[in-house]
Structures are given as C-alpha cells and as structure tokens.
Amino acid sequence: MSSKKVIALTISLLLLLPVCKSWISYLISTYEDYIANENQEEKTILIDDEVETIDAKEEEDDSPEITDKETDEHVSREDHNKLASQNNVETQDPASKKEKQDTQEYQENHKTKKWGIVDAADSPLKFRFSSCNKRARVEYDPSYEKLTSLNIPHKVRYNGDVYTVYHIEYNVFYYCQNIVKIEIPSSIDLSCFSFHHFNKLTSIIVEPDHPKLSSENGILYNKDKSEIIRVPIGFKGKFKLLNSVKKIGQHAFQNCKGLTNIEFPSNVTEIGDYAFDNCKGLTNLVIPSNISSIGNNAFSGCSGLTNVEIQVPTNVKFSSYVFSGCKKLKSFKIPLHITQLPDGFFSGCSSFEYYEIPSHITSIGDRAFSGCTGLTYVIIPKSVTVIGNGAFSGCTGLTNIIIPENVTFLGNGAFSDCKNLNVLVDNSKKNVEYNTSTFQGCKSLRWAK
C-alpha cells in the first residue's frame, strides 16, 4: 500500500474515534442500567415473599413460633409440607383418634379370632344352629377330651350366616381334664357352665364387654369385682382377695387343693356355700370379725385344716356342715352368740379327741359330731335341751357320756353305732323323748331317776 493511502486511512480513523468512543460509553451505560434493574426486581420479589410469609404467620394464630435458629436453617417446601401433615395428624379430633384405635383393636381381635367372628369349620367346638333367631349352642363331642385351651367364640359363621353363641349344653366339658385356659364371650351366661371338673385350669378370661362378669389375673369376678365367682382349680399358694371383694361366691375356691392360705380384706362380709370345699392344702384359717355369714359346707373337706380362729367381737352366722370332713381339725371355739350348733357342723372331724360343748349351746344339730371316730370324751352342759338325729352316730371312740336332766329330746340314732359307749341318762324329770334307735349299737345304757 502506498504511503498516501496509509495517511488517508489514519486520518479517517482519527475522525471516527470520538464517535466510536461515544457509542461504547452508551453501550456500557445501558448494560449497567440493565443489571441494576434486574437486581432491583430480585430484591422486590424477596421483599414480597417475606411480606407474604409474615401475613401467613399472622393468620395462623396456633402455629409454632419460629426461632432465629430455625430461620437460619434452610427448609425446603417438601419438608414444610411434611411438617404440616404431621401437625394435622396431631391435631385430629379426639373422637377420630378413639375411633381409629377401636378399629385397630377390633381388627387385631378379629385377626386373632379371640372375640371376632369365627368360621364354624375353624373351631374345635361343635354347634347346634337355630336359623330362626340366628343363635347357636355348644354341644358335646368326644374330641373335647384332647383340648388344652377352650376358646368359646362370641359369633360363628355357618353357611354364610352369622350366629351368636348363647348356650352350652349341660356337662359338655365334663371329661376335659387337660384344659388350662378358658375364654368366655359376653354372650354366655354362666348358669349353663361349670368349672368343677377342670383340674388343670389356671386362667379364666372374660370378654371385656360382658354384662355380668369380669376377670383379672385369670380370676373370675362379677362385673364390679365385688364378688369373687371362681378361682381356677389349678391355683397354688396364698391367695389375697382384692379390696373390692365383699362376697366369696358359691363354689368360688372349691377343689383348689393347692390353696395354702387365704387373706380376707376388711370389706368381705359373706362366704358362700361350698366356697372352700375340698381345699385340702388349706392348713390355717382366720375368720375376721367382719364376716357375718358362712354358708353350707363352706370349709367341708379341708382335710389339712388344723386350726380355725374366730376373731372377736363377731356376729357370724354359721350354716350346716361348715367344717365337715376336716379330718385334722382338733378344736374349735364356738362364738358366744351361737346357741344352736348347726347340723353336721363337725361331722367327720376324726381328730377330735376331747370336746367340751360350751354352756351357751342349747341345741346340738343333726349329725353335728357324726363320724368323729377319734372322739373319746364329750361333756354335754346342762344348757342343752335337744340332741338331734344322728348327732353322735358312728363315734366309735366314745366310752362314757352323761346326758343331763334338761335334755327333753334325743333324736333318731343320736348315739347309734357307738359300740364302746356306756350311756347314763339323767331322767330325774321324766320328760325325755327318745326312740329305740337312739342308742342302737351302744355298749350299755343306764337311766338315773
């Protein structure tokens, strides 16, 4: 290129330089304004978000306070949603929670088939169904003898229909000697059920909503636990009654041969018929003063019982045969308020050797001392006016007895089969009533006039 052309090009560039510089400055200024505007919009968005957050907090009065520490921690919208979901669960209506719990409990029970609906084919029990009222009763089957656990269902399904189990036929489980646990539904009334034959039974469980019964620690009670109804025969050791118990029901401890001691709470006032019958392991017994009634055969057959103490003061009322068959019982102090010795009271107490009937007794009941084979000497006080039928029958150890003058009645067989007995009857008042069987089998009989 020639020097003239170079000089011309240089001059042209120098002339254009101010214009280019002006354009470059304009472009730079425009770019800076753009960047500034972008930053301003971002700040505005952030401020708007903060305002919205504050407004949301003011609307939610019960929402938890956010601390500085929590503000510093970054929480994603997903975490926030999870937290909100948890809060919703925690603030559910209590009734909804209860309904959910009940549903879960029902499902669990139904799953275990404890109180739920059981298919008849799945139960070891045999049923008789009544289609008219959709009720079922348990009937006998020889296979029951192999059962170790007896679960009586509340409802059974058969051929697509559901039946309520309401009855157990008499003595259905009489030969079930291996059962250790029994479960009773709320549909069963115990009037059709007996526990006397379950020799290995250790636990009785009742459906919680049973209208009349309840259970605790395998023991059967009435609904409010004021009466103990049945202790499993397999129970062993010392038994302490609940403080709520006021009555020991009929047969409550019958045949509990492993029972060694019983502790009565202060609320108990009544001991039912046969309550402790045949409790052979019971050795000592303290009947507290709050007991006002003791039923028939309450302690009969307690062959290990050696001592009975009646606490005073007492107004206890005894029924018949209370201590019959207590073979090791050697003595018993009859409370002062008792004037009539009940029927069969000491019958079969073969360890009695000497007995002085207290002076407040006026009547000796039928068979009161019958079968007391170890009894060798008896003192009958002048207060006695009546000696009942068979009162001392079979007392083969008796050798001598004096019947005082105030006795006006000697019952049938009162001293029958007392083969070693010499009898002296004070008949000075000539008012005694007797018959030929009264002294049948005695060694000798004399009348003092």
- Token couple for 422: 């010499």
CA-closest candidate to residue 233, choices 206, 262, 201, 260: 201
Is the pLDDT at 315 greater than 60? The verdict is: yes
> How many other CB atoms are there within 10 angstroms of residue 330's CB atom?
14
Overall size of the chain counted in residues: 449
Per-residue model confidence (pLDDT) at position 158: 95
Express each pLDDT in 203-221 by its tens digit: 999 999 999 999 999 999 9
User: Which CATH code fits 339-449?
Assistant: 3.80.10.10
Per-residue model confidence (pLDDT) at position 411: 96
Whole-number mean pLDDT of the chain? 82
DSSP state of 144: G
- Token couple for 228: 């103990």
Confidence of residue 269 (pLDDT cuts 50, 70, 90): very high
Residue type, 449: K
Residue 321 vs residues 86, 318, 326, 345, 422: alpha-carbon distances, Å: 69, 9, 10, 4, 27
User: What average pLDDT does the segment 257-262 reach?
Assistant: 95
177 neighbors 199 (Cβ within 8 angstroms)? yes
Helix (H, G, I), strand (E, B) or coil at 69: helix
- Token couple for 308: 């009975």
Is the pLDDT at 73 greater than 90? The verdict is: no
Per-residue model confidence (pLDDT) at position 237: 95
Per cent of the chain over pLDDT 70 is 74
Residue 266 vs residues 240, 292, 345: alpha-carbon distances, Å: 12, 12, 26
Q: How far apart are CA 178 and CA 145, in angstroms?
A: 7
Per-residue model confidence (pLDDT) at position 4: 57
Q: How far apart are CA 301 and CA 275, in angstroms?
A: 11
Is the pLDDT at 236 greater than 60? The verdict is: yes
Express each pLDDT in 357-383 by its tens digit: 999 999 999 999 999 999 999 999 999
Q: Which residues contact 193 (CB under 8 A, 6 or more apart)?
A: 168, 184
Q: Is the peptide bond before 211 cis (omega within 30 degrees of 0)?
A: no
Which class is domain 109-210? alpha beta
Handedness of CA 89, 93, 98, 99 (dihedral sign): negative
User: What average pLDDT does the segment 170-196 reach?
Assistant: 87
Express each pLDDT in 76-131 by its tens digit: 444 444 444 444 444 445 444 544 454 454 444 444 456 789 999 999 999 999 99
Residue 129 vs residues 60, 123, 132, 141, 162: alpha-carbon distances, Å: 61, 14, 9, 15, 10
Within this chain, domains 109-210 and 339-449 share the same CATH topology: yes
H or E element at residue 101: helix 94-112
Is the pLDDT at 75 greater than 50? The verdict is: no
Q: How far apart are CA 435 and CA 414, in angstroms?
A: 10
Q: How far apart are CA 317 and CA 327, in angstroms?
A: 23
Per-residue model confidence (pLDDT) at position 197: 82
Per-residue model confidence (pLDDT) at position 68: 44
Q: How far apart are CA 183 and CA 239, in angstroms?
A: 22
270 neighbors 291 (Cβ within 8 angstroms)? yes
Model pTM above 0.75:
no
CA 62 to chain centre: 45
- Token couple for 14: 């120098």
Per-residue model confidence (pLDDT) at position 50: 42
CATH number 3.40.50.720 given to 235-337 = no
Is the pLDDT at 59 greater than 50? The verdict is: no
353 neighbors 329 (Cβ within 8 angstroms)? no
Per-residue model confidence (pLDDT) at position 41: 46
Q: Own/partner pairs for 116-120, CB < 8 Å, 24+ apart?
A: 116/153, 116/154, 116/155, 117/153, 117/154, 117/155, 117/156, 117/157, 117/162, 118/153, 118/155, 118/156, 118/157, 119/156, 119/157, 119/158, 120/156, 120/157, 120/158
Which of 185-189, 300-304, 310-314 has the weakest average pLDDT? 310-314
Q: How far apart are CA 129 and CA 353, in angstroms?
A: 60
CA-closest candidate to residue 395, choices 416, 379, 366, 364: 416
User: What average pLDDT does the segment 121-150 reach?
Assistant: 93
H or E element at residue 126: strand 126-130
Is the pLDDT at 407 greater than 90? The verdict is: yes
Please state the domain extents for the chain: 109-210, 235-337, 339-449
% helix / strand / coil in the chain, to the nearest 5?
A: 25, 25, 55
